[in-house]
Every structure is written in C-alpha cells, then in structure tokens.
Homo-oligomer: A and B are copies of this chain.
Amino acid sequence: MSSFSNAQPDLSDAFSYIDQHRQQFLERLMAYLRLPSISAYGQGIEEVANYIAQVIKDIGLQAQVLPTEGWPIVLAELTTTPDAPTVLLYGHYDVQPPDPLDAWVSPPFEPTIRNDRLYARGAGDNKGQHFAQLLALETLLACRGKLPCNVKVLLEGEEEIGSPRLLSFVQRYHKELAADLLIVSDGPVYENGRAQIVFGARGILSFELRARGARQDLHSGNWGNIAPNPLWTLVHLLATMKNERGEITIDGFYDNVLPLSNLEREAIAKLPTDVERIKRTLEIQHLDQPLDRDVAERLIAWPTLTINGLHGGYAGPGTKSVLPHEAFAKCDIRLVPAQTADEIFAKVAAHVQRHAPEVMLLRQGSMEPAKTSLASPYTEALHKAVQAAQGEEPLLVPSAGGSLPNYVFTQTLGIPVFEVPYANVDEANHAPNENLEIERFFKGIKTGVAMLTYLSAFSKSL
C-alpha cells in the first residue's frame, strides 16, 4: 500500500446536495426511528430489518436480509469500482430497551425535535449514525453516478444484546465480506465535543448473580437473622469483588491487561479532558474511585466492573419490615486487551464459588476487546476526510470505552476497524431521552461522503 495522495478532493457538490436535502433526510430518519427494534425483547426486529434493507435497495445497493440463529443480519454491497479499496460499513439496527419509560420527556418511539436535537430511542445508538452512512452513499450516487470506493454494508440486530451471532455469521460469510477496512459510526464524539477516530473498543462480559434465602418473604422481626438475607449475601459478595478504592479484587483480574504502546500513550496525552466540565455535565461532586486516575486512561486502558441493576425486597412507598427471599444483581465488566471474556468469566466464577457458593452465577452476553494500530495506512485519509467534513481535526483515540464487536472483523477478516462516531456526547444512549444533535446528523452524512472520497485515493497507487 503506497502513501496517501495529498490532493484535496472537491466535495462541494455532495455537501450542497446534503444541505438541500436536510428536511427530507431528517424526516426519513424520523420514520426509521418510529419503528421499535428492541433486541432484548425481540420487539419489531423482523420488520425493521426488512425496512432498512428496502431503504438500502432504494438507494441503489444490492441488499438482503439473512437469517441467523437469532435476529437477522442485513447485508448489502455495491462493488463497481474494481481498482478502489473496499470499505465495509458496519452498524446495528437494534436498540436498547427504553425503560424507565416515565423518565422520557417525549415517548421513545415518537421522534421529537427539541432544542435542535432529535429525541428518540436509537437516535444516536445506532440508527441515526448508520442512516447517515447510508445517506452518504445516496448522496454520492446522486452527485457522481457511482461510489468512489467499493462499499459493503452489514447491519446487525443483536448489538445491544452482545452480538452473540455476529462472529459465526462473519466466519460463514467471510468471502462475501472481504474488505480492506471497516468503518463503524457508533458511540459519541469525544467528551469535549470534538470529532474523533477511535481505533478500538473495550470488550464486555455481562453476568447476573442470583441469591435466595427462605422459600418466601418473611417477617423481619420473627425471622431476621435466622433465615439468610439474599440482599446481605449479594452486598457481602459484591463488596469482595471491588473495593471502596475502585480496585477490582477478583483474583487474577488484571493479569492479562496489556500495557499501552508508546503511540497510544502519546495519543492519550494529547486528548483534552476537562474534568470540571464532566462533573458539571453529569452533576457529580467527584469522579468515581480511584480519584487520581486520568479520565481518558480510565476508558482506554482499564477494565471496569459495573453493577447495572440490583434488586430485592420491598420497593414501594413507606416501610415494610420484610426479610426478602430472593435478590439479583446484573453486572457488566468492560474488558481491555488481552483480557478475554472466557478467562474473566472463569475468574468471576471461581470468586463466587469461593466467597458465596450458594449464589447462582449466570453468564450473559460478551464481546472481546480489540484494537487497530494507530499506524494504519488509512489513518491519514480518514483524518483528512473528517477534517474536510466537520471543519476540525479529529482526535485519535486508541480505544472507545464502550464495546463494539470490532474483534469479529479484526480476527476473522484481518482488517483494520475504525470507529468514526457522529453522536453528541450527551446522546443519552442506553438511557432515557436518547437524542442526536440534528447538525451532527448532517455532518455525519458529509463525513461518510468525505471518507469514501478520500479513501478512493488509494486506488491510484495500487
């Protein structure tokens, strides 16, 4: 692969086209967001897979909805530029459950515009972002009659439940998916609002702890401290898994955490972090423990153990002097290279077995961590494309804090994976009032146009 051409391609035709179609593009996104597609409940999945496949066909790509053992995957391509690189675009058409519903200002599946933002479940994560990628293809085809690169599109419907079938799908269709690089637009821009290119993603391992006491709830005065309390069991077990200083105290948990490369350390050092603004935005008094750890380094270099939910016993108003008979804790661990989900689950299981063998441990979804080298030959093209489309230099971030199934593509297809997100930092993904700044949606379409155009420069020197 030769060096990247320094010529500045002219994008003004496509950018004008996008500006002229703002209202239409926005309405089409709102129509897409009106359709629930909650993978955790299986709600609306088939309908939305077919819907977005039809959208892609209408744009001019070949598209099909392929079954898996779980929810279907939408696969599309338009590979009519033999000399150009092949870019695989990846996204997911499924969304997180919208509860708690009563915390939404407007209903999650009735897209509503307030303060120049579009509020809806999936606005940022991920419908709004891959829809922008698709509209970039539409724009290029409308303005130029063809795409500057070969393009393949993979939209899955199980990302929010851990992409359990993506790996086997990509293994099965690895020939059809052959590409030079993958671009995914998911997650938010950098914490300070700057554009970013992200070179990796942490993995995730979800699990649930279930504790039982007596066969039913009991009177706390007659039976308290006689029958074991499953809430105390979980409190004491969890307290042995992470201490008050923020250290995860599961035996061997940090064994396979790789040190950062020098390039990564340099990139992290360049990342601006405004801790005071984070505290203001989140309305928190202090960061989580350990207090002295750099924010960017937390997200890039360190695994986490989060309790996503813990429930047992009385939840109503007033008091109820009850001894609950069951309780559960849902947790996720964010993994960093070279931790693996299997390895960490085995360590969690051994820990639970040693500290509270009566507690049931259920393994749920997982994704491996993955990283692309900052030294990739495509880095410069993408960097310039984002700058051309968004008017600012993107930050180069070694890894996202969140999890994407990048490892499926890096491992199976052997290609570099670049995350180029468009969503605002306060997109509230996975939370009530998810939203996308409308301006970022249009910038996203322009970024899609620019990336494919800049990447086409590689064809000249092949």
Residues of A within 8 A of B (CB): 40-41, 96-97, 99, 103, 161-162, 187-188, 202, 204, 206, 208, 213-229, 231-232, 234-236, 238-239, 242-244, 246, 278, 282-289, 295, 298-299, 302, 304, 306-324, 327, 329-330, 332, 334, 358, 364-365, 400-403, 428-433
Contact = CB atoms under 8 A, between A and B. Distances in A.
Contact of A314 (B219, B225, B239, B309): B309
A400 B433 CA distance: 50
A166 to B, nearest CB: 16
A5 to B, nearest CB: 35
A400 B222 CA distance: 8
Contact of A40 (B238, B306, B318): B318
Given A231-B310, A239-B236, A314-B308, A302 B214 contact: no
A319 B307 contact: no
Given A307-B232, A310-B310, A433-B216, A226 B299 contact: yes
Given A41-B318, A221-B334, 17 more contacts: A40-B320, A41-B317, A99-B314, A162-B319, A202-B221, A204-B321, A208-B319, A215-B282, A216-B433, A217-B431, A218-B428, A222-B400, A223-B401, A229-B288, A236-B243, A308-B313, A308-B320
B309 A315 contact: yes
A317 B40 contact: yes
A432 B229 contact: no
A334 B330 CA distance: 30
A403 B306 contact: no
Contact of A322 (B286, B400, B430): B430
B430 A219 contact: yes
Contacts of A235: 234-235, 238-239, 307, 310
B432 A216 contact: yes
Nearest to A307: B231
